[in-house]
Amino acid sequence: MSRLVVVSNRLPLGDNPSGGLVVALQDALRSSGGLWVGFAGEPVESPEDELAWHPGAAFQRASFDLTQEDYEAYYLGYSNSVLWPLCHGRVDLMRILPGHVEGYRRVNERIAKLLVPHLRPDDRIWVQDYHLFALAFELRKLGVECPIGHFLHIPFPGPADCAALPNPGELFDWLSHYDLLGFQAGRDLSNFTESARQLAEIEPLHDHRLLLQGRVLRADVYPIGIDTAAFIEEARTAPDEDRMRSLTGAQMMIGVDRLDYSKGIPHRFRAFQLLMENNSDLHEKISFLQIAPPTREAVEAYQDIREETEHLAGRINGQFATVNWTPIRFIHRPIPRNVLAGLYRQARIGLVTPLADGMNLVAKEYVAAQDVSDPGVLILSRFAGAAETMGDALIINPHDPWELAEAIARAMRMTANERRRRHSALLRDVVEHDVGWWSATYLDALAAA
């Protein structure tokens, strides 16, 4: 079997790395004697001209480092202040600054140069996400001919948004050097083909193949999943359920998201406020726990979303709290995975309301964590990639606070029969399409491409 080489922005470090992607790729990496390459995590003053090797995992791991200047231009700048907002429909939040796209090109080129001496002719390379769109282009320049695939974890923008890039054609030039492009949802594949049609040259061929900028490649949908069996077990054996339940006395509704403006957290707070204004019978009956660990705090838009969220939570609590009841509990810290699994299991409602999202794994974790005999209700934004396969959730438009408030009230009143019926259909999908299925399906297609 040829060796699998995975390249991602972050290298999973630690002796026992967990997390869905690592678990999914671990088997394929281990059985092929594979290699994972990524950024070490902290910028340095004088980067080495060599990859650094990290022993300890079941596969080889090697990291590259970055100067502060490259980190700012490539990671904070072009990746997270241009591509991220663009792909999430927030062109208004794009910050195009001089030197950022150059930094992005420079880092992709540097990773290619560091990687090439360690490549073998029969390797298969799998590149992860928007930080590395240009990597195949840079590898091909250095003569690499082996199969290279890309998987995009976030949405692909439609033509109107793509046109806001400083040089939209360049994105499609970069992408044309891959053999396989993988997307989370059908919506992303259509956006990609439509954007390419308007901003580059594309000609559909048969069997998911197409001609992009004169090169043949394959593009298809591979919805990512979670490590379902492990998560079910995690939730079943989670710590101290009774202690956590006694903290509230009311039914719990849970939201879990990095504090990112794409996740629609203020929208769900406003819908909750509306619900409280119009349903006094629900006061003290429902308690909303929002876990939102910090992320990308060096980017201004993330400082703004923190302020907005804290302000709203404070206001709503001031408006409705009683001596015995805090309507919203907002935790701005990461909490341990096993505790999270237990909280999902206790929550009567899982609230997943992004304004745009590649897939959203929280939706799948919430379903996996439920007690099948008395499951909770998933409320899911139609703008999450997950909505394409999780139609048995209560699917809502997160921009409409009335619709969302109505869905929460409906979930609170839903009979156990209806909850079980919806949950068993959702669970079937989450079990069948787990992260192992995702990576195996993608890698088969890469082998065939």
Binding ligand GDG by CB under 6 A: which of 238, 351, 361, 367?
361
Q: Which residue's CB is nearer to ligand GDG, number 60 or number 155?
A: 155
Residues 270-309 that bind ligand GDG (CB under 6 A): 291, 293
* Shortest Å, Cβ 52 to ligand GDG: 25
Q: Which residue's CB is nearer to ligand GDG, number 217 or number 254?
A: 254
Going edge to edge, which strands form the sheet with 209-212?
52-54, 60-64, 35-39, 4-10, 124-128, 148-151, 180-183, 215-221, 209-212, 202-204
Gap between the Cα atoms of 403 and 382, Å rounded: 12
Angle at 132 between CA 130 and CA 136, to 5 degrees: 130
Q: Which residue's CB is nearer to ligand GDG, number 166 or number 294?
A: 294
Of the listed pieces 55-63, 280-288, 357-365, 411-419, which binds ligand GDG according to CB under 6 A? 357-365
**Contact call for residue 435 and ligand GDG (CB under 6 A):** no
For ligand GDG (CB under 6 A), the number of binding residues is 19
Binding ligand GDG by CB under 6 A: which of 6, 136, 154, 355?
154
Of the listed pieces 5-13, 246-254, 328-336, 401-409, which binds ligand GDG according to CB under 6 A? 328-336
Write the single-letter amino acid at 163.
A
* DSSP SS3 for 279: coil
> Is 123 tagged catalytic?
no
Cβ(411)–Cβ(377) below 8 Å: yes
**Contact call for residue 422 and ligand GDG (CB under 6 A):** no
**Contact call for residue 227 and ligand GDG (CB under 6 A):** no
Binding ligand GDG by CB under 6 A: which of 65, 234, 365, 429?
365
* DSSP SS3 for 31: helix
> Is 153 tagged catalytic?
yes
Of the listed pieces 159-167, 212-220, 330-338, 366-374, which binds ligand GDG according to CB under 6 A? 330-338
Q: Which residue's CB is nearer to ligand GDG, number 185 or number 212?
A: 185
Q: Would you tell me the crossing angle of helices 416-432 and 228-236 to the nearest 10 degrees?
A: 140
* Shortest Å, Cβ 259 to ligand GDG: 9
Of the listed pieces 134-142, 354-362, 396-404, 416-424, which binds ligand GDG according to CB under 6 A? 354-362
**Length of the chain counted residue by residue:** 449
Neighbours of 113 (CB within 10 A): 15
Angle at 223 between CA 218 and CA 225, to 5 degrees: 140
**Contact call for residue 258 and ligand GDG (CB under 6 A):** yes
CA 20 from chain center: how many Å? 11
Q: Which residue's CB is nearer to ligand GDG, number 114 or number 226?
A: 226
CA atoms 149, 263, 240, 336: torsion sign: positive
* Shortest Å, Cβ 359 to ligand GDG: 3
Binding ligand GDG by CB under 6 A: which of 22, 313, 340, 427?
340
4: left (phi over 0), alpha (psi -120 to 50) or beta: beta
Checking DSSP bridges between strand 35-39 and strand 60-64, what pairing results, if any? parallel
Gap between the Cα atoms of 383 and 433, Å rounded: 20
Straight-line distance from the first to the last Cα atom of the chain, in angstroms, rounded to the nearest whole number: 16
Catalytic residues: 153, 357
Residues lying near ligand GDG in the complex (CB under 6 A) are found at 153-154, 224, 256, 258, 291, 293, 334-337, 340, 357-362, 365
